[in-house]
Structure 1
């Protein structure tokens, strides 16, 4: 499994190259900012017409992570849908796909700013989830500890030989983890931009996703 180990509040975790977070001791997989239906939402609101395969691609990658880990609990950390109409209008094939992934698992939809209402797709809908010693919520809070959040879609760059690569990244410090966006077509916020530079401690590090995850001091 391509992953890098990390620890938060005494919990031993793995940052997977896919952008998911794996808590083996609890058989818990966490993903953030899936943004299902983004291509449809952009077209519906008069934007560019993008290939309508983003949700299927995201589900393919999530299916692969669940096959690897056999997680018993899945936490979707907010903005799982690009808006509530995208959740309601999800094609039947994709609704059934999600239902199959949920079978036999505890599945938690954490509320995000894009999807603030209940999701009628099975599982539980929660504003945030305390799973001691960790708290899972969509947007980080000042002063929190043992917090795992998403929302900002952080990305970081690293130089590898003669080339520089930029990828979605986990941001990790002594108090929190900010998750990368997992969904296809999601953009990113450079981790040297506010509010990430003010949110993360000076000793924070970035773990770049990809086939081979790379860990570097968080660029500022």
Structure 2
């Protein structure tokens, strides 16, 4: 899978078409908002049943990124689980799969608003991770610089040949990068939303995910 190369705070990074971020210099792979266990949580709260395969699909794609990049460290930028009960109730095959993915590398779970507490799945559990000159956290902070975050599940709409297509996207300016949601059943927030236009500089790019990641001016 191809990637789009760019720099943030002087660091050379790659936005992969899957929605993962790759820092080749330090061999760090970053994903955000896996929301594992969403189908179980929706059913538990009385919602319409969803096909119970989102964890398998999400982890299969994550495994492909890990195999392609061979990271020394994987950072999950929060909301890795749809809530604490979803984390505690993962089926044994999914727990085993996560354990296998963690083997031989460091793994950091960043706290999110859906999963504020540590979970017993190995790895390190942090509120945020400074890795100068970058800082990894779940929710972007106004005025931050060199920040990599998630939370908003950004998506952007591309119009071509009379058709309009919405894709998950990275949002990038000179101060920060916001990652797309990686999880299979995660929705998205359009880049035109005030929550995102208020964070991103006017010259910001939206890097569309897909087989060939494509940068466009951030739709506003």
Q: TM-score range by the shorter chain?
A: over 0.9
Equivalent residue for 1:179? 179
Q: Secondary structure at the match of 1:46?
A: coil
Query: Partners in 2 of 1:96 and 1:81 — Cα distance?
Result: 16
The alignment covers a number of residue pairs equal to: 220
Equivalent residue for 2:111? 111
Deviation per residue, 1:28-80 (Å, 9 max, x gap): 00000000000110000000101000000000000000000011100000000
Deviation per residue, 1:69-101 (Å, 9 max, x gap): 011100000000000000000000000000000
Unaligned runs of 5+ in 1: none
- Once the two structures are superposed, the pairs formed by residues 56-71 of structure 1 within 5 Å of their partners are 56-71=56-71
Equivalent residue for 1:195? 195
Equivalent residue for 1:19? 19
Deviation per residue, 1:109-130 (Å, 9 max, x gap): 0000000001110000000000
Query: Partners in 1 of 2:211 and 2:96 — Cα distance?
Result: 29
Q: CA RMSD in A?
A: 0.7
Query: Partners in 2 of 1:162 and 1:70 — Cα distance?
Result: 40
Q: Secondary structure at the match of 2:170?
A: strand
Unaligned runs of 5+ in 2: none
Equivalent residue for 1:33? 33
Matched, 1:82 2:82: yes
TM-score by length of 1: 0.99
Equivalent residue for 2:122? 122
Q: Secondary structure at the match of 1:56?
A: helix
Equivalent residue for 2:141? 141
The structural deviation recorded for 1:165 is 1.3
The structural deviation recorded for 1:6 is 1.1
Query: Partners in 1 of 2:151 and 2:94 — Cα distance?
Result: 23
The structural deviation recorded for 1:213 is 1.3
Deviation per residue, 1:136-158 (Å, 9 max, x gap): 00000011000000000000011
TM-score by length of 2: 0.99
